[in-house]
Structure 1
Amino acid sequence: MSFLRRVFDRLMRPTYLVGRDLEGNKYYEYPSISDETSRTKRVVKYRPGADMLTYVAGKKRLPVQWTAWLTHTRLRPPTVEELHADLERQLRVQRNAALIEARDREERALQLEMESGSQGTIAGRIAQEAAKQEAADSPMQPGGHPPSASDLSPASNNASQLAPSAQPEYPAPVSDEPQAWSPRTIRRG
């Protein structure tokens, strides 16, 4: 391409910087070269010093909002506030997933303890969980200190005497064995 042609193209079809993402990548929009003026060319210029291979190989990804804009799925480019809100949402989802994973690990460990038949540790664990529940349910004084023994009412003293024992609270079911069943026929007429 000749020098004059490049200068002419620059003057007639300027490049517009549309926006940036949180990692410093810049997004440009070029006017259409063909007769179809509605379809513009949208391009990303990666941050200086960043290797484009990290994005192509899948180690890093462009924000979904910018990807939708690049593919003409989204009409308007995303704002920085929108990108920050999405980043906060992703962090919140990761925290919640970590909490769920930790809870699942605890449940698996408890189930393994129950299956191994170590009744002494289970009773101790039940007592610890009951103590935690009682501490969470107990009223706190305005200073943030737990109430003294004289401040507690007799009803709460009775509740503390009902500490869980190694025996289950609920009665065992009468029978866990399946019973025979035969359907009745319906007579019409």
Structure 2
Amino acid sequence: MSLRAIWRRIWHPTGFVGRDLEGNSYYERLNPLKGIWLRGSRRLPIQWSAWLAHTRAHPPSIQELQTDLIRQQRVQRNAALIEASYQQERAQLRIQESTDAERTRPSGIQESTSSSPDVQDSSTLHCSLSAASDAATTPTPENIAPTQKKPETSLPKTGSDDYQPESWTPQLRIRRG
């Protein structure tokens, strides 16, 4: 064994480091393949990923992993509650829009609600549609909104704009010290 290997074993011991909540064991040892990365299909906890990437000094403890798992479950539960309330709000808006659409439908057009559809002549249907559209576009006193003039608001006045931009002239910086 070379002096470098002995020095490495003294200052960088290898061996068992810890476990995660799924029962995976983590060991620290030198990589004999140096450059070949083997990636698993499962996702590592972020604490272990940080330790493996040498951005964390000490491996995570079981308590830390458990508290993070509880936090993740709480965040997922809160996100599900927010999503459910959002879906409920969207459903209420759809119902409100459908009732508003039924109220604004012209009275000349009637939908058949019976189980057997009535057969109408296409000319009578066309006449009723044109009559309904004429009634909707004909100005009546109820349809004409009173036009009111808004009083002019006095906007703040500014003086004349005499500002003229100048070119930038840098000054020498004197270092002290």
TM-score, normalised via structure 1 length: 0.44
TM-score, normalised via structure 2 length: 0.47
